[in-house]
Structure 1
Amino acid sequence: MTSRPDDAAINPGDVVTRAEISRVFGNSGQGGICASIEKRSVNLFSDPSVGEKLGYYDGWLAEDDDLGPVFEYTGAGKSGNQTFEGAVGTGNRAVLQHAIQERTLRVFVQVGKKPHSDTKTHAYLGEFTLDQLEPYVWRRAPSEAGPDRDVIVFRLRPEPDSNIGRSPRNVIPVAKKTTVELVNIPVTAALLQSDPITSGALSTPKQRRKNLKSQKRLLNAATEGTFVVPEAFNTKMSLRSASASFIAVRREAELTQQYIAHLRSLGHSVGAFQIKVKGLSSTLRTDLYDATEHRLYEVKGANAREDVRMALGQLLDYSRYVSTDQHPNAPKRTILLPAQPDADMYDLCNIYEVEIIHRTEDGDFSHGAGTALI
């Protein structure tokens, strides 16, 4: 590996050292997330040897969705729950806010060392942006020492003009068998993070940043308060429809919190499931599970027909995998909505033995048009 001129450009596919990266894109020289104000760059360094020891992988999902490929990157923090808050969460905040701070998100993967040296080398994958509708998810993951913890997994999309190639060595291995894990709390950002940290504009691909200032105003208005995106939407959306979706998912998070408080007031134990399906590299997760009643919930932030139908499909899918030692049979299934849906949605759900619960105008929860839940 020959030395590079100090002013040499770094292009996708190049293998470089941190010193060379620092001269071009800025870099602290250590750590997984390195933000540079001067170079307007947030550099993400993935070291497979580190993550795999802890039982998780950074890399491309083996399966694309309707918007194309996704690169998953685990946030900063090797022990304890990861966070967006305080000094510990500085790097994670830099990733989340890279677009509103007008910084470019770049990914590097450690691939080896310089000959006859301990200096690590990194392959430059290219420029990325956070997935607009599901920028990150929370997962339970092993820790270097101590119990499992909550980690942030960022969902990155390659910029359309970044010319990124996907190497098979950077693809997350598919699950060899289906596994289901019950975690203590629903793994959603709204339940773990405070409002100011997770609000603000999301990533916008470069080709759509010409009107960034006006977009910021719209997106900030739409996401004012707690920002959380627990669902992925599989169609390309305009800014207006995306903003409406942000409002819906914020309502979903708030509704989930309220209903958890309701269940806990009754003495119920609540949690969520993480599901790895054989042959897939992505991780499914449920919205809410009531362990006391062995009941699985799918929560939506709107009560429109398409929301009920989506929730019904997700429940039928997830419930196939949900069981515990105490409850080996299939769970009861319930859709939780912020308002009462159309009457024929009850008829549809009754066919599949799925209940609908909705929030009433006075803040209680009700089955259909019946009395409030006690």
Structure 2
Amino acid sequence: MTVSVEVINPGDVRTRTEIRAVFGGSPQGGICPSEDRHSVNLYSDPDVGELVGYYDGWLAEEDELGPVFEYTGAGKSGDQTFDGVAGSGNRAILRHAEQGRVLRVFTRVGKVPGSDTKTHRYLGSFTLDGMEPYVWRRVPGEDGLERNVIVFRLRAEGAVQYTAEDVIPAAEATTVEFVPFRPVTAAMFQSEPATSGGLPLPKQRSRKSTTARKPAPNAETSGTFVVPEAFGTKLSIRAATAATVAVRHEAELTQAYKAHLDAAGHQTGAFQIKVRGLTSTLRTDLYDATEHVLYEAKGSNSREDVRMALGQILDYSRYVKTQDHEGEPKRVILLPAAPASDMYTLLDRYDVGVVYRADDGRFVGDTVPKTDQ
């Protein structure tokens, strides 16, 4: 009996030849754009990623918009990029919306009996998360050397298949690793090479599930220190929502204060935290390794943002431990302007300081170092 390939639904298993007949794309590679079919086909091979310590799959933790599927970008060795030929696949993912394409995810499940032809299960159509389209992670490459990889955060568009076997495994051991930092949100505001348009907010979730969800087992916690690099491209947005404006302001503020710390001769970075029993990865905004100060930045000085920053920094600081400093770091909230006076009382109760940018551009606060500039 011949299987029709006129329609491929979430959960269907097909060969790449059959997939190409419907959604186009190239016969090889993990990221396969198709201009005529308005599609960017993403192929995930669990065996490949797991060999070098990373996973594509659903995060077990959901937010108010539903689940997130993490997909690792192209490039098996060396730092992944959005630039040039090496970054063409990653750019195709980041620019899919403005180019009128749909992200479609497939995961390898086996081979056609009696042959070496691989088969892939279709999970459904996706779009990038509107607030945090990707994050940087530090993992080993095929050559065994540590490198920065791009992990895209995908949201379901319409019905998708969600099964327990596609959920990323929870952390099982505590690991602390010092690694370089890469900016997380800069490319969503760049006109080139990433995108000049605002990323769409995901639609209300709707998923097709064939297997009951299993809770992730508890294990241990890991934290990773990361060293910042410059954004390198002026931030700009078009047709952005108020939320993305706040993200841009936060990114600009963090970069400006990082530059101030660098000018004072301080070593700066951030922490990437893998929490015991969770599949998601937390990331702090900025860490002054010279003075052992952890900063949580916000794009506004509103009461809501200050309260959110307080909760985040109390959470993150529990995991920040280094060989050069004893105990938890000093906790400071970084704001674009001074908060309301009563918020200082709240922050003092939890021993959390404030640094803000004055009208003349100077940074004000007890932990702000002096520079010769």
- Structure-2-length-normalised TM-score: 0.85
Match of 1:226 in 2: 235
Match of 2:224 in 1: none
Q: Report deviation, 1:345.
A: 1.4
Partner AA of 2:132 in structure 1: E
Q: Report deviation, 1:308.
A: 0.8
| SS class of match (1:88) | coil
The CA deviation string for residues 180-227 of structure 1, in whole angstroms up to 9 with x for no partner, is: 43433254243999553243121355789xxxxxxxxxxxxxxx9637
| SS class of match (2:151) | strand
Q: Report deviation, 1:80.
A: 1.5
- Asked whether the 8 Å contact 1:174–1:281 carries over to 2, the reply is yes
Q: Report deviation, 1:86.
A: 1.8
Match of 2:196 in 1: 199
Q: Distance in 2 between matches of 1:278 and 1:148?
A: 22
- Asked whether the 8 Å contact 1:190–1:254 carries over to 2, the reply is no
Q: Distance in 1 between matches of 2:310 and 2:41?
A: 40
Q: Distance in 2 between matches of 1:372 and 1:318?
A: 23
Change (3 A) 1:194 1:128: closer
Q: Which residue, out of 123, 126, 129, partners 1:128?
A: 126
Q: Distance in 1 between matches of 2:54 and 2:368?
A: 46
**Which blocks of at least 5 consecutive residues in structure 2 are unaligned?**
206-232
Q: Which residue, out of 65, 80, 83, partners 1:82?
A: 80
Identity %: 61
Match of 1:98 in 2: 96
- Structure-1-length-normalised TM-score: 0.85
Q: Which residue, out of 15, 26, 30, partners 2:24?
A: 26
Q: Report deviation, 1:3.
A: 4.7
Match of 2:297 in 1: 299
Partner AA of 1:4 in structure 2: V
Q: Distance in 2 between matches of 1:355 and 1:106?
A: 45
Cα RMSD over matched residues? 2.5
Q: Report deviation, 1:292.
A: 0.3
Q: Kindly report which structure 2 residues correspond to 1:230-309, keeping only aligned pairs within 5 A, or say none.
A: 243-309=241-307
The CA deviation string for residues 248-270 of structure 1, in whole angstroms up to 9 with x for no partner, is: 11111111111111111111111
Partner AA of 2:199 in structure 1: L
Partner AA of 1:248 in structure 2: A
- Asked whether the 8 Å contact 2:133–2:185 carries over to 1, the reply is no
Match of 2:151 in 1: 153
Q: Does 1:183 align with 2:179?
A: yes
Change (3 A) 1:318 1:182: farther
When you count helix as a share of all residues, which structure comes out higher? 1
Match of 2:350 in 1: 352
Partner AA of 2:303 in structure 1: R
Q: Does 1:119 align with 2:117?
A: yes
Aligned residues: 342
Match of 2:212 in 1: none
Match of 1:39 in 2: 37
